[in-house]
Structure 1
Amino acid sequence: MRSSSWPWFCAWLAVGALASLGLVAILSIGVYLLPLALLAAALLATRRGSAAGLPGLVSGLGVPLLYVAFLNRGGPGNVCTTTSTSQSCVDEYNPWVWLAAGVIFLLAGIVLGAVRQRRATLR
């Protein structure tokens, strides 16, 4: 990708990450994040040249999924943490599913951007 399209890619990545976080956390703060993501997308869509970084939206969808994989790195199953004064146990998801989905989205956006840039230079 050209250096001029990277800022747009990063801006769209942030919008995608915000939208994905809104979907992952739909039962809590997601209700407030989704309208914010739509507003940011509308604002970016009206800017000249922003379409060059649109594949960043796809990559951004993977960022919260990677964070969920990180949070569940001890799973799957019941994971207990013991300190000198207490013990707490939580049931964690399989992190490999979240990691795979996050990496696929992240790489898909990068590859899509590279293919799009290559087609633009061939014309």
Structure 2
Amino acid sequence: MTHHSQDMQACIDACLACYRTCLSTAMHHCLEAGGDHTEPAHFRLMAACAEMCRASAHIMLTGSDAHRHSCTACAAICSACADDCERVGGMAECVRACRECAEHCRRMGAMQ
């Protein structure tokens, strides 16, 4: 088993949780709700957020120092996704997962 710091493991867990939440919410809740939920810019942002979270978790799991860059980008995308999900409404679980992931990723991105 690979050893990660507690902070990194918490960030990996937050990224994977956000990945699952964004992808699942987009594919089920948003597609079924329609309207603003399937607005192209919103739907693409959710897809980008899910993929960035997955990629950041993957990079952290490799042990590469490049995780600082992916985590910084992930924090920005998660924050934008949370804001947009809040704007659309009815997506509290997605907003929470994105904000939590953004916070963990901000800390990881800032680590030396």
Larger radius of gyration: 1
TM-score scaled by length of structure 1: 0.35
TM-score scaled by length of structure 2: 0.38
The structure with the greater share of residues assigned to helix is: 2
Where relative contact order (Cα < 8 A, 6+ residues apart) is larger, the structure is 2
The structure with the greater share of residues assigned to strand is: 1
